[in-house]
Amino acid sequence: MDRQVTRRGFLALLGGGAVGTVFSPLPWKLLDDAAIWTQNWSWLPRLPRGEVRTHASHCTLCPAGCGISVRTVGGEPFGISPIPGHPLSGGALCPLGFAAHHMAYHPCRLTDPIRRVRERGPLAHVPIAMSEAISEARAWIGAAGGKGAVAVLDARPERVISTLYRWLLEPLGGVYVAAPGGEASFDALDEMLIDPPGPVGLDLAAARTCLSFGAPLLDGWGSPGALPGDVHIIQIETRPSRTALHAGRWLRLHPGTEATLALGIAHVILAEGWANEPLLRERGADFATYRQLALDLTPARTAELTGIGEGEIRAAARRFAQEGPSLALAGTDPGGGPLPREAQLAVWGLNLLVGSFGPPGGIVRRRAPAAPRRRLGDLPDRSIQLLLLDPSVTEAAFPWSLVARKLAGDQAKVISLSPYDAGMALRADLVLPAPAPMETRDEVTAPATAPADALALSRPLRRPPKGVLPVGEMLRQLAGEAAGFDYEALLREKVAAIEASARGSVYEPATGESTPLSGDLTSALEEGACWVDERPAAWPLPEFRLLGGGADARERMRRAVFERPNDAGLVLMPWGWRGAAGAGALPQVAAKLYRESHLRGEADSARIHPETGRSAGLRDGGRARLGTPAGFREVVVAFDAAVLPGVIHVATGPANSSFGDVEPVLGGLVDLCRIDESGSWRLTPVTVGEA
Amino acid sequence: MKDHRVGNLRFGMAIDIDRCTGCGACMMACAVENNTSVPPPEAGDRRGLTWIRVYRVDNGKPYPENRTVYFPVACQHCDHKTPCVPVCPQNAVDIDPQNGIVSTIPERCLGCRYCMAACPYHARYFNWWDPVWPKGMERSFNPDVSPRMRGVVEKCNFCHGRWQAARAQAAAEGRRDFREGDFVPACVEACPVGAMTFGNLLDPGSEIYRLIHGPRAFRLLERIGTQTKVYYLSDHAWVRALGDKLPEGGAHG
């Protein structure tokens, strides 16, 4: 038999072998192995090991003070859950709170002090030793001479740390300043009351009707779970915010006409006899003037000025007056700034008309006296030679120009206590590294809008990096290690004073129950408990001025109500949600909110009505250039039929394109905005063109 | 097709669209719980990793008729003709006959993405990049969930790590049954307004059973017969009508 291998036979064997191999597991195995070999590398992270434990604590990312349950592995936090039924948060937590433990590893994290060596902005700082930084800061503090030359800006003013700031300022004649912004401004309310009874809060949980003038009730108002489901919200707001979209009723008014609508509602309440006029006349120094102004503003005129139908105005007023307890809120968007003064006066005044001062479900008094503080706007321009920024300030969103105009020129020094080289720290001459969340014991007090005082602790659950000092210790060193600068001792004193008062109740996360305060509060707080003060007794209606102080109060209100603001051209209205509104550091996984979902009007996109956009020559998804006298910004155009024609809404916060980059960006959208005489930056005339 | 179902346990979820405020807490909680990596900025909104993703949808009408809702969309855990299962050449996609959870085995996946093409809900995500976190952050990982590698597909598995822990706990207590509340996925626990309900779809005494048999319940793309185990709830007809429309954004990849 001839066994000679022919060329044809050889090729047939090769072909047959190749075809056979395809139908064998070999190629799949090779493909699979190749995939696995190329997918797994030594740098892929391994899972942590160690004992798993759960700790009750509180979140300190914002002033809401949500109760959290933190899971740790080997002493390192790895998971955060809300505590159901917590008195401050109602069992909820905001998106950022779920990743608070990641903040310690943020790329912008500081572990050493840094000093500015070139123009303010990213990469302007170099690291220095802590001893050198403290010496330099003390030298600057010592060199800043004169009353009011040193100032502290703090966004969480009722803490023991705030007391230390005041002690630091006292011998220097310095000023303690509460940061602007926040969710509701009580400044105008303080001005209305002739003899204010002390700090007030809002009893939203017991209210049945809420007339919210832009308050971000579902966009960062306290804890997201703090809003009860049975309050009927009438949201009065230009922007189609989440609160507006989910409110019982949304009234989309023309920008800047909040004062007009508030007084228009007052007209209906007064004209239809829903107000207790004899009492208002007795307690209100200017009630007659206010009444006449309101009655001059007919619903038809209000409708013309605000763009809201007459029927809607009457319906809102009747619901507010009849379905009590009712609350009218002069709200504040964290990125959009406070309402102008006259609008705040007009809105808070509605509560006086329907008797919402004092009773449950209204504006209630809190027991603890408020510590003295100044408003940034009240300080003389160019008066501050040295400004100290508390870590809480990085989360606020307000134009830097508000601060810059108060600084004494280029010679003024700014010291920031910040865990990150981002946000406000980029403006600082010296940054002292502060602990990240969960690295030190921190104090949690009730948010400014809460109906009662509260105290809880955030527990230290991970060790801070070497070189990072607690803020109290930094202040002690800045004060030259003066006697009494002992944060822990002061905190113990504060707790002891509450214990001595034997007032209020203590919520124990282990049992989920609140019991009257008795026994050792310190130990309870260490275990994650939360003390809540009891409500004060009934509050008699104080004397008030509905139009605020000043000889020209009536004329100012008349102008604010009857003159329609800037009708021509486009208006820029910035907005943001709390925690994410600033240009500061955010948890890395928050990128998902920006890049991978349809949740936000993204930070670099402008929402605009399709007709307005087309008339400006823009197209949906295209790029546009926004211009104001303060500068330009490029944005992506997003057409939205719910937006009022003539208005452009842009979110503050990190831009989609830059989020997640290590290099932070100096300044943000709010720096384009115009600041009006009352310190508001809600409305800015803007030009727009294709980029 | 042979019925793969065994026993009387089918995990499912009901999401009340009328209550969802679109805050994104579910997305964040999911990413933290499952050690989901953060893709680089150039990932855009198509190539990221979002096991649960919230879509903003409106009715397209101008104010005052305009209405907007938020749709959290994760893997729908199809119970019938599960499209991603038969297309996988590696047997890396599996439906648990005991409880109906559809899961992916990343170690078997070779990255062909047939399952992504087959999924009508765009609920599967491909790891385009090596999973990279800031230095030291691996110390804050959930120790119960392994991070996935580049080149594999991943998706929601109803927080399988939590299910395993709950099952171990039940075994330690000498129980063989599942009780409501034994475990919930991270997204359900995170929802601040209680819009998400999780439980056994077959238990007539459960809250989810009551919800999915009510007039407000609907499912996504019900017409294709996948019998998904994620239900949506709404009072509004226009929202319920959205269930038969494909989500915006098209296919991945």
- CATH number for the domain harbouring residue A629: 2.40.40.20
Closest-CA residue of chain A to B34: A79
Shared domain for A419 and A517, answered yes or no, is yes
* Cβ pair B53:A590 closer than 8 A: no
Chain segment A281-302, per-residue pLDDT in tens: 999 999 999 999 999 999 999 9
Q: What is the pLDDT of residue A148?
A: 86
Shared domain for A511 and A610, answered yes or no, is no
Q: Is A550 within a domain?
A: no
Name the E strands within A253-300.
Answer: none
Q: Is residue A228 scored above 70 in pLDDT?
A: no
**Backbone CA torsion sign across A471, A440, A455, A94:** positive
Contacting residues of A for B147, CB less than 8 Å apart: 44-45, 47
d(CA A577, CA A274): 36
Q: Is B4 within a domain?
A: no
> Per-residue pLDDT averaged across B101-108, rounded?
92
Mean pLDDT of chain B: 89
> Are A522 and A506 contacting, i.e. CB atoms less than 8 angstroms apart?
no
Helix (H, G, I), strand (E, B), or coil: what is residue A135? helix
Q: Is B247 within a domain?
A: no
What DSSP string runs through A582-645? SSS---GGGHHHHHSSS-S--TTEEEE-HHHHHHTT--TT-EEEEEETTEEEEEEEEE-TTSPT
Distance from CA of A486 to the nearest CA of B (A): 31
Q: Is residue A227 scored above 90 in pLDDT?
A: no
Q: What is the pLDDT of residue B253?
A: 30
> Are A630 and A623 contacting, i.e. CB atoms less than 8 angstroms apart?
no
CATH number at residue B128: 3.30.70.20
* Cβ pair B53:A596 closer than 8 A: yes
Mean pLDDT of chain A: 87
Nearest to A678 by CA among A15, A141, A191, A36: A191
> Are A320 and A350 contacting, i.e. CB atoms less than 8 angstroms apart?
yes
Q: What is the pLDDT of residue A564?
A: 76
> Per-residue pLDDT averaged across B212-222, rounded?
96
Q: What is the pLDDT of residue A1?
A: 57
Shared domain for A590 and A481, answered yes or no, is no
> Per-residue pLDDT averaged across A309-334, rounded?
92
Closest-CA residue of chain B to A44: B131
Shared domain for A590 and A677, answered yes or no, is yes
* Beta-carbon contacts of residue A151 (< 8 Å; ≥ 6 apart): A169, A174, A175, A176, A177, A379, A384, A386, A387, A388, A406
Q: What is the pLDDT of residue A675?
A: 85
What is the number of CB-based contacts under 8 A between chain A and chain B? 199
Shared domain for A245 and A166, answered yes or no, is no
Contacting residues of B for A315, CB less than 8 Å apart: none
* Cβ pair B192:A223 closer than 8 A: yes
Q: What band does A395 get if pLDDT is binned at 50, 70 and 90?
A: low
Q: What band does A523 get if pLDDT is binned at 50, 70 and 90?
A: very high
Chain segment A178-222, per-residue pLDDT in tens: 876 555 678 888 889 888 777 888 888 889 999 999 888 877 666
Q: What is the pLDDT of residue B34?
A: 96
- Reported as type and span, the H/E element at residue A553 is helix A553-562
Q: What band does A599 get if pLDDT is binned at 50, 70 and 90?
A: low
User: Which single residue is written with the structure tokens 């070189």?
Assistant: A467
Closest Cβ opposite residue B140 in set A101, A644, A659: A101
Contacting residues of A for B164, CB less than 8 Å apart: none
Domain count within chain A:
5
* Beta-carbon contacts of residue B229 (< 8 Å; ≥ 6 apart): B10, B11, B12, B13, B76, B77, B78, B79, B100, B201
Look at the pTM and tell me if it is higher than 0.80. yes
CATH number at residue A263: 3.40.228.10
> Are A616 and A689 contacting, i.e. CB atoms less than 8 angstroms apart?
yes
Q: Looking at residue B137, what DSSP letter applies?
A: G
* Cβ pair A599:B107 closer than 8 A: no
Q: Is residue A537 scored above 80 in pLDDT?
A: no
* Interhelix angle A553-562/A258-271, nearest 10 degrees: 100
Nearest to A367 by CA among A500, A501, A494, A458: A501
Sequence letter at residue A305: L
Q: What is the pLDDT of residue A584?
A: 67
d(CA A474, CA A476): 5
d(CA A651, CA A310): 31
Q: What is the pLDDT of residue B251?
A: 35
Highest mean pLDDT among A166-175, A629-638, B228-237: B228-237
Which residue did the predictor score with more confidence, A86 or A596?
A86
**Backbone CA torsion sign across A471, A474, A475, A476:** positive
d(CA B176, CA B185): 20
B101-105 own/partner pairs: CB under 8 Å, 24+ apart: B101/B11, B101/B77, B101/B157, B101/B158, B101/B160, B101/B163, B102/B75, B102/B77, B102/B78, B102/B155, B102/B157, B103/B157, B103/B160, B104/B152, B104/B153, B104/B154, B104/B155, B104/B157
* Beta-carbon contacts of residue B214 (< 8 Å; ≥ 6 apart): B233
Distance from CA of B74 to the nearest CA of A (A): 12
Distance from CA of B7 to the nearest CA of A (A): 32
CA distances from A175 to A152, A311, A412 (A): 7, 49, 15
User: Which single residue is written with the structure tokens 């879509």?
Assistant: B55
Sequence letter at residue B142: N
Q: What is the pLDDT of residue B1?
A: 45
Q: Which of A486-495, A672-681, B72-81 has the least mean pLDDT? A: A672-681
- The answer to whether B85 faces chain A, any CB pair under 8 Å, is no
> Are B124 and B84 contacting, i.e. CB atoms less than 8 angstroms apart?
yes
Q: Is B3 within a domain?
A: no
Sequence letter at residue A67: G
Sequence letter at residue A239: R
DSSP bridge pairs for A640: none
Helix (H, G, I), strand (E, B), or coil: what is residue A290? helix
Q: State whether ipTM is beyond 0.90.
A: yes
Q: What is the pLDDT of residue B252?
A: 35
> Are A261 and A236 contacting, i.e. CB atoms less than 8 angstroms apart?
yes
- The answer to whether A25 faces chain B, any CB pair under 8 Å, is no
Q: Is B215 within a domain?
A: yes
d(CA B221, CA B76): 10
Q: What is the pLDDT of residue A397?
A: 67
- The answer to whether A230 faces chain B, any CB pair under 8 Å, is no
Shared domain for A377 and A510, answered yes or no, is yes
Domain count within chain B:
1
Q: Is residue A224 scored above 50 in pLDDT?
A: yes
Nearest to A339 by CA among A448, A180, A210: A180
d(CA A157, CA A445): 9
Shared domain for A27 and A60, answered yes or no, is no
> Are A358 and A539 contacting, i.e. CB atoms less than 8 angstroms apart?
yes
Distance, CA of B249 to chain centre: 18
Distance from CA of B188 to the nearest CA of A (A): 11
Q: Is residue A223 scored above 70 in pLDDT?
A: no
Shared domain for A165 and A312, answered yes or no, is no
- The answer to whether A676 faces chain B, any CB pair under 8 Å, is no
Q: Is A549 within a domain?
A: no
Q: What is the pLDDT of residue A579?
A: 61
DSSP bridge pairs for A200: A365
Helix (H, G, I), strand (E, B), or coil: what is residue A211? strand
d(CA A591, CA A567): 37
Chain segment A116-148, per-residue pLDDT in tens: 998 877 678 899 999 999 999 999 998 987 788
* Interhelix angle A287-296/A258-271, nearest 10 degrees: 100
Chain segment A28-41, per-residue pLDDT in tens: 888 878 877 777 77
Distance, CA of A152 to chain centre: 19
> Are A97 and A109 contacting, i.e. CB atoms less than 8 angstroms apart?
no
Pairing of strands A52-58, A67-73: antiparallel
Q: What is the pLDDT of residue B249?
A: 43
d(CA A651, CA A656): 11
Residues A225/A227/A231/A232 CA torsion (nearest 10 deg): -100
Q: Which of A219-223, A250-254, B128-132 has the least mean pLDDT? A: A219-223
Closest Cβ opposite residue A78 in set B28, B69, B140: B140
d(CA B242, CA A664): 40
Nearest to A391 by CA among A432, A354, A359: A432
CATH number at residue A83: 2.20.25.90
Sequence letter at residue B144: D
Shared domain for A83 and A120, answered yes or no, is no
Domain residues for the domain of A336 are 187-365
**Backbone CA torsion sign across B38, B40, B45, B48:** negative
- The answer to whether B165 faces chain A, any CB pair under 8 Å, is no
Number of other CB atoms surrounding residue B161 within 10 Å: 18
d(CA A241, CA A216): 8
Shared domain for A607 and A676, answered yes or no, is yes
Q: Is B222 within a domain?
A: yes
* Cβ pair A224:B90 closer than 8 A: no
d(CA A72, CA A48): 10
Closest Cβ opposite residue A35 in set B38, B48, B110: B110
**Six token digits for residue A328:** 């009218």
Shared domain for A384 and A331, answered yes or no, is no
Pairing of strands A430-433, A413-418: parallel
Closest Cβ opposite residue B41 in set A31, A76, A657: A657
Q: Is B142 within a domain?
A: yes
* Cβ pair A98:B29 closer than 8 A: yes
d(CA A358, CA B136): 52
Q: What band does A385 get if pLDDT is binned at 50, 70 and 90?
A: very high
* Cβ pair A99:B32 closer than 8 A: yes
Shared domain for A473 and A570, answered yes or no, is no
Closest Cβ opposite residue B54 in set A39, A105, A599: A599
Closest Cβ opposite residue B138 in set A46, A50, A599: A46
| Residue in A109, A592, A594 to test binding to B, most B beta-carbons within 10 Å | A592
Q: What is the pLDDT of residue A383?
A: 94
Q: Report residue A217: phi and psi, to 5°.
A: -60, -30
Last residue within a domain, chosen from A365, A386, A411? A365
Q: Is A592 within a domain?
A: yes
Gyration radius of chain A over CA positions: 29
d(CA A689, CA A114): 40
Which residues 4-33 on chain B approach chain A with CB closer than 8 angstroms?
21-25, 27-29, 31-33
Domain residues for the domain of B196 are 11-242
Nearest to A590 by CA among B123, B48, B156, B70: B48
Q: Is B168 within a domain?
A: yes
Number of other CB atoms surrounding residue B123 within 10 Å: 26
Which residues 23-82 on chain B approach chain A with CB closer than 8 angstroms?
23-25, 27-29, 31-33, 36, 38, 40-41, 43-45, 48-50, 53-56, 58, 60-64, 66-70
Which residue did the predictor score with more confidence, A3 or A65?
A65
Q: Looking at residue A61, what DSSP letter applies?
A: S
Q: Is B253 within a domain?
A: no
Chain segment A548-578, per-residue pLDDT in tens: 988 899 999 999 999 876 667 899 998 876 6
Closest-CA residue of chain B to A30: B110
Percent of chain A with pLDDT over 90: 54
Closest-CA residue of chain B to A658: B41
Last residue within a domain, chosen from A344, A365, A386? A365
Sequence letter at residue A603: A
Q: Is residue B183 scored above 50 in pLDDT?
A: yes
* Cβ pair A92:B54 closer than 8 A: no
Q: Is A557 within a domain?
A: no
- The answer to whether B181 faces chain A, any CB pair under 8 Å, is no
Q: Is residue A600 scored above 80 in pLDDT?
A: no
